[in-house]
Structures are given as structure tokens and as C-alpha cells.
């Protein structure tokens, strides 16, 4: 059996190929992909060849929802018809390495790496929004580590899916989030969420950020990884505040921050990496109840595999401005999660 897949032949190149799948055995299950979504930070770093562990050629991505179509005799946790989240896979082309490999039409693998979402056929809204559960889980972990309290002023650097999700979660804690985003087009995209979105290039930036937090920010949440921006925003923090470093800092020449400025203010630095089961389950619940709104963040939809490369051109160039990019791998489905 063969399946289409998105892969990176080498740094800064992306292409569609066919992968040969093994015959499933008693320990395997077969999963047909319904929706996959780009994880922009991780997949861009892999594309640039800077993510830890990257080996080319490779198949990237870990946002994938599929339906179980076959289970081996030894598989007990899943049944045919289950809707699952995950990117377990293996293929015969040993020269193509996996960097989780979410953007495939079909997979044969052990059940490990999959999470159960429900039974029945989810509608497109549920598929698309829940495909970003990992990013919401990452944001949730950051907000949880920061222990944001009511009425605290929170500055979030970067208005991507993680940053905007963190703003929504900070609001649920009754914090007062402000987003800082350098891209004017992206500021426009997220403006409809109802949070202040500031740009340092705004002629009125100084007055606006002072109005947002007259006494300084209690919390700065970095989801962008730009050292100069972190340094500038540390200057706007209260003494004894908390700084979260949650971006990816693989570009070591550009990520050194001013520790003296942090020390002078006696700021606590917190870090997180990834997410755990609790984070993921909470993220799913928040998306399903729409306490975290993902639909407004989905800016581009493509049919897979035909239009995979269009999505990756957006990721590569950043133009036009984009946030959530999803791929539909099958026909529209009209039922809901059971």
C-alpha cells in the first residue's frame, strides 16, 4: 500500500512523495487521516534544519486527526471507527526519517502515540479546531506554570496560535493580557479576538503600552524567541515579576538575553517544553467548549494531498500573513463527536 506524504528533501525544500506502507501485523492499526495542521514554529525550524534532531530527508508534523480503519488482534485500546489524534507511522523508505510525520494520507503503526478523541464522524469544525490541541496544550502549560492571578497584567510576545491561545487562557484566570506582535498583518488577523495587540513600530507604542500596564507587567510570556524584544520588555516588568521562556531558541547566535537586567529586577524565569496528558485533555475540553476559540485563528485551508505545497509556501515565506493552516484529507463530514 502506498500513501501520499509531505516531506522535506533537504533544508528549505518541501515536496510531496509517495511512501510504501508495510503490511499490518497483529500489533498494528491502520489510520486514515482526516485533517492535519501545520505546527508553524516546530515545522519551520525543521525546514531550516535547526530543530534538534533534524535529519534530512524527513517527514514533519504532529497535528493529525484520523479514523481507525483496521486493528490487529493484539490491539485492545482502539477499535475500528475510533477518532484518534496522533502521528504514529512507519514506512519502507528507510532514507526518509520521521519528524513525527503527520502529513500522510494513511498510516500503519503501533497504537502508541495516539490519543482517543471519540467515536462516530466529527464535523469539519470539530476536526479543524481540535487539530490544534497540541498548541493549546503548550499554551496551557505555560499559563499553568506562570500561575497567573486575577488582575495581573500579562504581556505575551508573539501573536501566533500559541500566543493567542495563551491570551485566552490568561483571561480565563482573570488576568489582563496584552499581545505584542511585530507583523502588522498578523496584528490585524488577531485583532478580532478582543485583546490589545501592540506593535513596537506604532508611533503611539510608548503611550499604549504604558496605558496597558501603568505600573509595569507582572508577567511576560515569550512565544517568539527574539532576544532584543525580550530585553526591551523586561524593562517594562515589575520587580519580582515572572518571565516565561517558551519559544524555541535554536538560533544560539540570536537568542542571548540580558541576564543582568533580569537579576536587577529579581525576576523569576520559568521554562516549559512540550505538554503532558493533563495539558492535552484540558486543551481538548477548552476547544470543545469554545472557552478557547481556535476557529478565528484558522486563516488557510487546503485539500490534501493536491495542495500541500501551497500551505508550505505560506509557512516558508510568511506571505500572505497566516496563522492556522489546515489540510483536509477526505470528504466533508457532517456528524458530530459521540
Q: What CATH number is associated with residue 238?
A: 3.40.50.720
- On whether residue 282 sits in a domain, the answer given is no
pLDDT by residue, tens only, the chain of 338 residues = 999 999 999 999 999 999 999 999 999 999 999 999 999 999 999 999 999 999 999 999 999 999 999 999 999 999 999 999 998 889 999 999 999 999 999 999 999 999 999 998 779 999 999 999 999 999 999 999 999 999 999 999 999 999 999 999 999 999 999 999 999 999 999 998 999 999 999 999 999 999 999 999 999 999 999 999 999 999 999 999 999 999 999 887 788 999 999 999 999 999 999 999 999 999 999 999 999 999 999 999 999 999 999 999 999 999 999 999 999 997 544 333 43
124 & 145 share domain: no
127 & 161 share domain: no
Q: Is the dihedral of CA 283, 7, 1, 23 positive or negative?
A: negative
Rounded to 10 deg, the angle between the 133-146 and 161-172 helix axes is: 50
- pTM for this structure? 0.95
127 & 151 share domain: no
Q: Cis link prior to 57 (omega < 30° from 0)?
A: yes
23 & 125 share domain: yes
C-alpha cell at 29: 492499526
127 & 8 share domain: yes
Total domains in the chain come to 2
We report the CATH number of the domain holding residue 20 as 3.90.180.10
C-alpha cell at 88: 504514529
235 & 162 share domain: yes
- On whether residue 221 sits in a domain, the answer given is yes
Q: Rounded to 5 degrees, what angle do the CA atoms 329, 334, 338 make?
A: 100
Amino acid at each position: 500500500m502506498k500513501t501520499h506524504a509531505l516531506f522535506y528533501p533537504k533544508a528549505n525544500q518541501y515536496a510531496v512523495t509517495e511512501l510504501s506502507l508495510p503490511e499490518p501485523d497483529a500489533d498494528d492499526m491502520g489510520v486514515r487521516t482526516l485533517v492535519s495542521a501545520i505546527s508553524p514554529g516546530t515545522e519551520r525550524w525543521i525546514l531550516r534544519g535547526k530543530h534538534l534532531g533534524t535529519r534530512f530527508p524527513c517527514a514533519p508534523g504532529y497535528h493529525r486527526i484520523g479514523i481507525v480503519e483496521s486493528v490487529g488482534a493484539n490491539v485492545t485500546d482502539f477499535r475500528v471507527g475510533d477518532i484518534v489524534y496522533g502521528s504514529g507511522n512507519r514506512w519502507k523508505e528507510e532514507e526518509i526519517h520521521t519528524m513525527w510525520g503527520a502529513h500522510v494520507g494513511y498510516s500503519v503503526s503501533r497504537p502508541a502515540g495516539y490519543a482517543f478523541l471519540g467515536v462516530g464522524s466529527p464535523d469539519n469544525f470539530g476536526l479543524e479546531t481540535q487539530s490544534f490541541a497540541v498548541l493549546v496544550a503548550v499554551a496551557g502549560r505555560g499559563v499553568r506554570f506562570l500561575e497567573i492571578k486575577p488582575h495581573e497584567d500579562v504581556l505575551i510576545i508573539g501573536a501566533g496560535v500559541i500566543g493567542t491561545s495563551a491570551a485566552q487562557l490568561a483571561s480565563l484566570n482573570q488576568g489582563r493580557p496584552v499581545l505584542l506582535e511585530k507583523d502588522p498583518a498578523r496584528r490585524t488577523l488577531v485583532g478580532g479576538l478582543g485583546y490589545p495587540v501592540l506593535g513596537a513600530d506604532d508611533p503611539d507604542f510608548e503611550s499604549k503600552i504604558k496605558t496597558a500596564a501603568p505600573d509595569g507587567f507582572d508577567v511576560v510570556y515569550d512565544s517568539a524567541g527574539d532576544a532584543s524584544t525580550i530585553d526591551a520588555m523586561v524593562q517594562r516588568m515589575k520587580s519580582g515579576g515572572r518571565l516565561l521562556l517558551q519559544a524555541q531558541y535554536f538560533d544560539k547566535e540570536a537568542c542571548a538575553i540580558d541576564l543582568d537586567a533580569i537579576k536587577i529586577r529579581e525576576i523569576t524565569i520559568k521554562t516549559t517544553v512540550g505538554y503532558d496528558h493533563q495539558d492535552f485533555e484540558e486543551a481538548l475540553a477548552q476547544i470543545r467548549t469554545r472557552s478557547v476559540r481556535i476557529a478565528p485563528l484558522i486563516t488557510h485551508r487546503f485539500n490534501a494531498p493536491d495542495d500541500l505545497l501551497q500551505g508550505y509556501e505560506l509557512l516558508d515565506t510568511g506571505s500572505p500573513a497566516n496563522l492556522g493552516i489546515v489540510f483536509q484529507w477526505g470528504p466533508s463530514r457532517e456528524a458530530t463527536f459521540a
